[in-house]
Amino acid sequence: MAKTKEELVIWFENLRKTDIPLVGGKNANLGEMLSAGIPVPHGFAITAYAYKRFIEETGIASEIYKIIKETVKDPNDPKQYEEASKKIRALIESTPVPKDIEEAIRAAYRELCRRLNLNDVFVAVRSSATAEDLPDASFAGQQETYLNVRGEDEVLEKTVKCWSSLFTPRAIFYRTQKGFAHEKVLISVGVQKMVHAKAAGVMFTINPVTGDPNQIVIEGNYGLGEAVVSGAVTPDEFIVDKRTMKIAEKHIATKKVMYARDPNTGKTVHLDVPAEKQNLPCISDEEVLKLAELAKKIEEHYGKPQDIEWAIDSELGFPENVFIVQSRPETVWSLKAVEAAPEKKVEVGLAKPEE
C-alpha cells in the first residue's frame, strides 16, 4: 500500500523500515518485523505528520521553540531544562487537538477493537521519535510509554502526553548536547494491543556484556516487561548458543516482585511473586528456544545485532503465545565497532531511514 506524507494513521502491517521519517524507528520496525513473519501484536501508528500538523495548526510550534530559547540560557543547568519542559508540556497538553486528527485517532482505535473482536481493548501507547532507534542517535527511553490504556478518550489523552514527552528535560538536554535542531525531531505514537504477559523481558542477539556475537542473551521476569526494562528487578538470564541453538547457560534469579495489570482498574501494579515460584524459571526451555529463534531471524533480517523486547501471553498456548513487542539496533557494541574503525567515515542523517 502506497503511503503519503499526509497520512495521520498507518497500520503496522503497512509500515516498513523505510518509513522512519514518518513514524519513527520503533513503529517502522514493528511493521518491518510483521513483513518478515515475526509475531507482533496488532496496532497502528499515529504519524509524525499528525504531530507536526497539531503543533503548526494550533500555532504552538513557534511558542515551543521560543520557550527553549528563552529558558535554556545555560546548557549545563538542569533546572533550566526542567523549567522549559514543564512550560512546554503544559502548553501541549492544554491545546485542543484539531478535530480531524482527533477523529482519525479515535476511528483507528475503534477499528483495532473491531479487528480483535474486543470491546475497548487494552493497548500500549508508545512514543517513537523520528530520530529514535538509529545507532548514532539513541533516543530510546527518552520519550514516554503508557501501558494498559483503554478507551478512545484515554488513547487520545495519552497520545498527546506522548507528543509532549518529546520535551522531557532529558530529551531537550540530549538534543541540545548533540546539536540536533529541536524543530527537526518529530514524534510518532504507536498504539499496540497489550499482551497479557505471564512473563516478559528483553533479549540481545549479541552478548551485551562480552560482545560475543555467537550468543543470544534473554532476560525475563514474571509479568510485564517494564520490570526488566527499567532495571527494577534482577531477571532470569538464559544464554543460547547461536550456532547450535541450544541453551548454553541459565541463571535463575530470585524473583520477588512482578509488574502486572490490575484486572479491575487496568493500571500497572507491583505484586509479590508467590514464594513457590520465586526461584523457578519464568519461561520454559521451549519458550527460550522459540525466542532465540525469533531473535536470530530478526537479526538476520536487519543484518545487525538487535536489542529486542518480548512477551509471553498467558491467554494463548505455545507457540502462539510468544510475541515480539519491539526491536531496535543494539547500540553499545555497534558503537564500539564504529569507534574501532576511525578511518571509516560514518554519515549521520537525522531522519534518514536505515538501508
What residue spans define the domains of the chain? 9-193, 197-339
Residue percentage of the chain with pLDDT more than 70: 89
- The pLDDT, as a whole number, for residue 344 is 43
Model confidence at 349: pLDDT above 70: no
Place of cell 531537550: 172
Q: Which three cell numbers stand for residue 324?
A: 515480539
- Do 291 and 310 contact (CB within 8 A), yes or no? yes
Whether the full predicted model's pTM is greater than 0.85, yes or no, is no
Residues facing residue 310 across a β-bridge: 201, 324
- The pLDDT, as a whole number, for residue 347 is 38
Positive or negative: CA dihedral 99, 104, 109, 113: positive
Positive or negative: CA dihedral 146, 148, 291, 247: positive
CA angle 19, 23, 24 (to 5 degrees): 90
CA distance 96 to 50: 13
Nearest CA-CA partner of 217 in 201, 234, 197 = 201
Q: Say which CATH topology domain 197-339 has.
A: D-amino Acid Aminotransferase; Chain A, domain 1 (3.30.470)
- The pLDDT, as a whole number, for residue 250 is 98
CA distance 317 to 288: 15
- Do 311 and 39 contact (CB within 8 A), yes or no? no
Over the range 137-168, which residues count as b (16 or more CB within 10 Å of their CB) and which as e? bbbbebbbbbbbbbbbebbbbbbbbbbbbbbb
In sequence order, what E strands does the chain have? Answer: 9-11, 43-46, 123-129, 145-149, 187-193, 197-204, 215-222, 236-241, 246-251, 257-261, 268-272, 306-313, 322-329
- The pLDDT, as a whole number, for residue 183 is 86
- The pLDDT, as a whole number, for residue 136 is 53
Q: Which three cell numbers stand for residue 123?
A: 493497548
Model confidence at 218: pLDDT above 50: yes
CA dihedral 98, 103, 109, 110 (to 10 degrees): 160
pLDDT tens digit string along 247-259? 999 999 999 999 9
CA distance 184 to 136: 16
- The pLDDT, as a whole number, for residue 131 is 65
CA distance 28 to 19: 6
Average pLDDT estimate for 265-291: 94
Residue type, 264: N
pLDDT tens digit string along 104-143? 999 999 999 999 998 999 999 999 888 644 445 555 556 7
The CATH class that applies to domain 9-193 reads alpha beta
pLDDT tens digit string along 58-96? 999 999 999 999 999 998 999 999 999 999 999 999 999
